[in-house]
Amino acid sequence: MTSSPTPPPASSGAPAPRRPLRRLTARGRDEAHRVASPLELFFDLCFVVAVAQAGLQLVHAVAEAHPGEGILNYAMVFFAIWWAWMNFTWFASAYDNDDALYRVVTLVQIAGVLVLAAGISRAFADHDYLVVWLGYVVMRLAMATQWLRAARSARGAERTTALRYAGGVLLCQVGWLGLVLLPEPARPWLFLVMVAAELCVPVYAEKDRPTTWHPHHIAERYGLFTIIVLGETIAAATVAVKSGVEENDALGALLPIAAGGLLIVFSAWWIYFAVPVHGRLRSNRQAFVWGYGHYLIFASAAAIGAGLEVAVEQAVDEAHISTLAASAAVTLPTALFLLTVWALHARHFKVGTAQQLVLPTTALLVICCTFLGDRAVLAAGVVSALAVAAGGTLTARLAARARRGRTGAPTA
């Protein structure tokens, strides 16, 4: 009697284990179900530590009647934060293989941003950028390592793109050393030169072969970071109101600021997510404008929180500025946020003059609210909420008209 062949072992249904180290190869632009990873979410949360520090220092500068110097320092520091975040985000969209080495290098980048955050107060107070620069060194060396690793696995034009990125990142990092070595009056000019150089690196690197970033993934990553920054805005304003109530018993004076600030942040969230952003990201030309423009969206969103803190401090007589200046600290970044969101993607989805004018008109009205004294923040919040209502009403009417047109029903 012959024995029957040994059956193969039954499959457990578990996925095959992945090797801890894998080649860092490009992912597909049309990959299905591409979403942000837990590592990316952790990365964003750590970056918000630096955003919070920049906002806190902006509050101190504006409250002490040094708005020009404070805004300049804020713009410089926030660019460093945003640019490092953006470099990682677009690289991860094209190359994230989630192996052990990728995770470790990403954690090194997170360590770099924490070092940067630790140096923000010295950058504002003493114009000492050494710690900020050291944090940037850690982040940028890690980023260059990722690009060199991608180049090692690539061929032809893709390899050239990766090497251009690595070289550009390292050369620009040398240029930023000028913030430490040059005399103080020359640093703002160096900053402008280095911003231009940094913005040119992706344009040059991808001129022959674009990286395979994923439109849905990029839109989600930017949206998530917007939510986190708006959340930080609410947290900062809440702490300020809480301190004002407990230390000064000024609930009546702070309630309009709290209500107006909440309406502004809710409206900002609603307006940003009112349209499907990924539909506009179909080419590098569109992506560069959209991605770079988010510097203003992120910076203004964080500045709204700083402005609310300034308004609270002024209401309890702890800020050395007028009511008009405190109101402007809220209304101006709110108007900038509305205009930038409209310019980058909202306007592409609006039909007709009425819809196109909602956000620009709202931004103008929000600026006008600056002159309403103690009720300026509340008025700006109400105007922002009315913009959401108006935009929703116009969209609903257009949709209903389109449905009636398709069914042949008579229109009013």
Cα separation of 350 and 277, whole Å?
13
Q: What three-state secondary structure class fits 349?
A: helix
Both tokens of 316, joined, read 């309890």
Vertex 135, ends 129 and 136: CA angle to 5°?
A: 85
Both tokens of 134, joined, read 């050291």
Q: What is the pLDDT of residue 396?
A: 62
Low-confidence residues in the chain, pLDDT < 50: 1-17, 409-412
For 372, residues 6+ apart whose C-beta sits below 8 A from its C-beta are: 327, 379
- Say if residues 216 and 279 touch (Cβ distance below 8 Å): no
Both tokens of 108, joined, read 């090194």
Classify 321 in phi/psi space as left (phi over 0), alpha (psi -120 to 50) or beta: beta
Vertex 109, ends 103 and 115: CA angle to 5°?
A: 140
Q: What is the pLDDT of residue 308?
A: 94
Q: What is the pLDDT of residue 409?
A: 47
**Residue 147: phi, psi to the nearest 5?**
-65, -40
Cα separation of 333 and 399, whole Å?
32
Q: What is the pLDDT of residue 345?
A: 80
Report which of 62, 58, 50, 63 is spatially closest to residue 74, judged by C-alpha positions. Answer: 58
Q: What is the pLDDT of residue 241?
A: 84
End-to-end alpha carbon distance in the chain: 89
134-191 confidence digits (pLDDT tens): 999 999 999 999 999 999 988 889 999 999 999 999 999 999 999 999 998 898 899 9
- Say if residues 165 and 201 touch (Cβ distance below 8 Å): yes
Q: What three-state secondary structure class fits 207?
A: coil
Q: Which domains does the chain carry?
A: 38-212 (no CATH), 216-403 (1.20.1410)
Q: What is the pLDDT of residue 410?
A: 44
Q: What three-state secondary structure class fits 316?
A: coil
Q: What is the pLDDT of residue 358?
A: 85
Q: What is the pTM of this model?
A: 0.88
Cα separation of 332 and 296, whole Å?
12
Cα separation of 110 and 139, whole Å?
7
Both tokens of 342, joined, read 């409209």
**Max CA-CA distance within the chain?**
102
Both tokens of 207, joined, read 């001129």
For the CA atoms of 210, 215, 220, 223, the dihedral, rounded to the nearest 10 degrees, stands at: 80
Q: Which amino acid is at 279?
A: G
Token pair 């947290």 in the structure block, residue? 235
Task: Tell me the HSE value of 108 on the side-chain side, using a 13 A CA sphere.
Answer: 17
Q: What is the pLDDT of residue 248?
A: 75
Provide Rg for the chain, Cα atoms.
Answer: 25
